[in-house]
A = this chain, B = another copy of it.
Amino acid sequence: MPYIPHTDEDVKSMLDTIGVDSIDDLFDEIPKDILAKNFDIPEGISEMEMMRLMSERAAADSNVSCFIGAGAYEHHIPAAVWDVVSRGEFLTAYTPYQAEASQGTLQVIYEYQTNMANLTAMDVSNASLYDGGSGMAEAALMAIRANRKSKSRKVLVPRTVNPLYRDTAHNIVNNQNIELVDVDFDKQGGNTTLESLKQYEGEDFAALIIAQPNFFGVLEEVNELTDWAHANGMLVIAVVNPTSLALLAPPGEWGEAGADIAIGEGQPLGVPLSSGGPYFGFICCKQKIVRQMPGRIIGRTVDMEGKEGFTLTLQAREQHIRRSKATSNICTNQGLVMTASTIYVALLGADGLSLVAENCHENTNQLSKLLTSIDGVETAFDRPVFHEQVIRLPASSASVLEKLAEARIQGGIDLSTYYPELENCVLFCATETKTNDDLVAYQKALASVLAS
């Protein structure tokens, strides 16, 4: 029996101890009429058979050159990261409820909190949320709780924020009658302007969300936007790409007072693309609103002998203590992936992360030049970007992308799916993993698709 160690003899002697005749007897409190019948599922197979099946299926999706970003990025992941993360002691531990038997996990989380707080220049971080999109929902809920000056259940959300995040967040918060109010973007710059916000001045909103870079890769005027929001009684929720923080001003330093909450998708920090998960959402905030933060938080303390140690803290915010009054229902988070990011950040350091960011940025610029050198291809927006770019094609982006895919190049995403007005537009990125040959191959393939 797969994974069950019992021998016939074991079973017999255990049943004897219990004082029943058969395993079935142990289920005698269950009404007979609801006992399960045979399942119509495949018979069990061996590890060997399954590994072959999985290898064949994985191979079917392989050997592509991927230029899709849109919130999930192909970065080099040092071999050490997942080798260490896959150690049984990290991989197969539960939540560190018994602190003394979980100092490894606990210290890792404390270091993770430090990394994220220092990267974002915020005061504190939690121990991870599920992912970027659901993290934005938590941030909105948190802002509504935390903004004592506002009674609003509305949050301003520029359309330049990742549409998948907006969709996810909406689906989560709408059950509490919370509204995410769209703010349109400047068609030329691809950014959120103060003009477009003017109309909301005087109205009560709990928060303004600002994505930097935004979904188009475009850089927002985060300082002005932050100050505007604060001036209008809103908190600022920053949505940031952690890789970018090696180069870009961190949320904690936006404008006069800095953002109040910073969230984002942790995937770029050592987490494989892996079809979208497990990733992790990070959330950081100002110290004064830490008690509104969702999720686990680890604190440093001492033991009976005065020795440094780590433990779960501020648990009174959490569901297992506060139940219906908790800051969130989150329990299981993304611990292992968060551990991977902690090792990744240690391996890269601030300087290494800068090099990654620079090289991604340069590759995307390079590719942008190559692609726009093709007749009829142009960049869609005129403002500075970080490591991602939108181009407009002289043909339907959906069909061009399909043809590129046949050449095993995943050229980006069809923006018109999310923004009907951005017809023929493609959002792409070229990270540090791409060589010049890769970029040229994309250019050639696109040229030939467009020529055909």
A432 lies within 8 A of chain B by Cβ: yes
Contact of A78 among B47, B432, B433 (CB under 8 A): B47
Compute how far the CA of A445 lies from the CA of B83 in the bound complex, rounded to whole angstroms.
41
Whether the pair A79, B432 counts as a contact (CB closer than 8 A) is: no
Within 8 A of B (CB), among A68-100: 76, 78-79, 83, 86-87
Does A433 contact B79, Cβ atoms closer than 8 Å?
Answer: no
* A48 within 8 Å of B (CB atoms): yes
B residues near A52, Cβ cutoff 8 Å: 433
The answer on a CB contact under 8 Å between B48 and A79 is no
Q: Is A41 close to B, CB under 8 A?
A: no
A 421-452 contacts with B by CB, 8 A: 432-433
Query: Which interface class (under 10, 10 to 19, 20 to 34, 35 or more) fits A?
Result: 10 to 19
Inter-chain contact B433/A48, CB cutoff 8 Å = yes
303-326 of chain A: CB within 8 A of chain B: none
| Interface presence of A101 (CB below 8 A) | no
Task: Tell me which residues from 37 to 82 in chain A have a Cβ below 8 Å from any Cβ of chain B.
Answer: 46-48, 51-52, 76, 78-79
Residue-wise interface mask of A (86-130) relative to B, using a CB-CB cutoff of 8 A (1 in contact, 0 not):
110000000000000000000000000000000000000000000
The chain B residue sitting closest to A84, CB to CB, is B88
> Which residues of the partner chain B approach A48 to less than 8 Å between Cβ atoms?
76, 432-433
Q: Which residue of B lies closest to A59 (CB)?
A: B63
- Cβ–Cβ < 8 Å partners of A79 in chain B: 47, 51
Compute how far the CA of A364 lies from the CA of B280 in the bound complex, rounded to whole angstroms. 49
Q: Which residues of B are found within 8 Å of A86, using beta-carbon distances?
A: 83
A83 to B51, CA, bound (A): 15
In the complex formed, the residue of B with least CB distance to A80 is B47
Query: Could you tell me the distance in whole angstroms from the C-beta of A426 to the nearest C-beta in chain B?
Result: 25
Closest to A91 in B: B83
* Shortest distance from the beta carbon of A104 to any chain B beta carbon, whole Å: 14
* A433→B50 CA distance, assembly (Å): 12
Q: Which chain B residues lie closer than 8 Å to A432 at the CB level?
A: 48
Q: Could you say which residues of chain B place their CB within 8 Å of the CB of A46?
A: 76
Within the complex, what minimum Cβ distance (angstroms) separates A100 from chain B? 22
Residues of B within 8 A of A433 (CB): 48, 52
Q: A51 — which chain B residues lie within 8 A by C-beta?
A: 76, 79
Q: How far is the CB of A1 from chain B (nearest CB, A)?
A: 14
8 Å CB contact of A76 from B47, B76, B78, B87: B47
Question: Whole-angstrom distance between the alpha carbons of A212 and B48 in the complex?
Answer: 27
Q: Which residues in B have their C-beta under 8 angstroms from that of A83?
A: 86
A303-B296 Cα distance, complex, nearest whole Å: 45
Contacts A46-B76, A47-B79 supplied; 7 other A-B pairs, CB < 8 Å: A47-B76, A47-B78, A48-B76, A48-B432, A48-B433, A51-B79, A52-B433
Residues of A within 8 A of B (CB): 46-48, 51-52, 76, 78-79, 83, 86-87, 432-433
Q: Can you offer 12 A-B residue contacts whose CB atoms are under 8 A? A: A46-B76, A47-B76, A47-B78, A47-B79, A48-B76, A48-B432, A48-B433, A51-B76, A51-B79, A52-B433, A83-B86, A87-B87
Ordered nearest first, which 10 A-B pairs have the shortest CB separation?
A48-B76, A47-B78, A87-B87, A48-B433, A47-B79, A83-B86, A47-B76, A48-B432, A51-B79, A51-B76
